[in-house]
Amino acid sequence: MSVSIYQLGYKKLSQIIFEWQAADRASLLALFIVMEITMHWLWCLFVWIGRDSFDGYVDMVLLYPSWLIITVIGLFFWWMVGHLSHIKNDYKRLHHWQIVLIGIYSLYIAIVVLVMGHSSLVSGVSLVGGTMLAMMLVRRRYIWYAFLFQIFLILLVTISPYLGINLPNMRQLTNTAVPLGAYSDQGYSEMVSIENAIAASIFQDGTLSWDSINEIRRSSIFFWRSTHIYLALPKAIFMVYVFSTLLLILDKSRKEILQYASHDELTGLKNRRYGLKRMKQMLATLNSAQDYSVILLDLDLFKNINDNYGHDVGDQVLKEVAGVLTNTLGEKNCVSRYGGEEFLIILPDTPHDAAMSIAEQLRSEIARYVVQVDNGPNFKVTASLGLYTLTHCARAFLKQEYLATAPKDATTLPIKRRRTKSRQKGQLMTRSCDMVRAQLPIDTCQRLISIADKALYKAKAQGRNQVVSANQMPDTDSDIVHSIATNVVCV
How does pLDDT run across 65-104, given as a tens digit for each residue? Answer: 999 999 999 999 999 888 887 787 777 888 888 889 888 9
Residue 224 has pLDDT above 60, yes or no: yes
User: Do 251 and 276 belong together in one domain?
Assistant: no
Is residue 302 predicted with pLDDT exceeding 90?
yes
pLDDT, tens digit (0-9, with 9 covering 90-100), for 428-471: 444 444 444 446 777 788 889 999 999 999 999 999 999 999 99
Give the single-character DSSP code of 347: E
Tell me, what's the pLDDT at 407? 60
26 Cα distance to chain centroid: 22
Q: Which of 22-26, 250-254, 302-306, 428-432 has the lowest mean pLDDT?
A: 428-432
316, part of any domain = yes
Global model pTM greater than 0.75:
no
pLDDT at 375: 78
Same domain, 18 and 75: yes
The answer to whether residues 189 and 277 belong to one domain is no
Residue 264 lies in a domain: no
Range of the domain at 371: 272-487
Whether 324 and 415 share a structural domain: yes
Q: Is 88 exposed, middle or buried (0-12, 13-18, 19+ CB in 10 A)?
A: middle
Question: 375 with 253, same domain?
Answer: no
Q: Is residue 265 part of a domain?
A: no
Q: Are 381 and 371 in contact (CB under 8 A)?
A: yes
Examine residue 153 and state whether it is found in any structural domain, yes or no. yes
The answer as to whether 75 is a domain residue is: yes
Mean pLDDT of the chain: 77
H or E element in which residue 455 lies: helix 444-461
Whether residues 446 and 312 fall in one domain: yes
In the prediction, which pLDDT does 393 show?
A: 85
- How confident is the model over 196-219, as pLDDT tens digits? 555 555 555 555 454 554 455 456
pLDDT at 165 (0 to 100): 79
- pLDDT band for 336, please (50, 70, 90 cuts): very high
At 240, the amino acid letter reads V
- Within a domain: residue 267? no
199 lies in the same domain as 305: no
pLDDT band at residue 319 using 50, 70 and 90 as cut-offs: very high
Model pLDDT for residues 378-421, shown as the tens digit of each residue? 899 999 999 999 988 888 877 777 777 766 544 444 444 444 44
Q: Are residues 45 and 109 in the same domain?
A: yes
Of 209, 235, 259, which residue sits at a domain end?
259
Last-in-domain residue among 226, 259, 292: 259
Mention every residue, 6+ apart, whose C-beta is less than 8 A from residue 305. Answer: 299, 313, 314, 317, 381
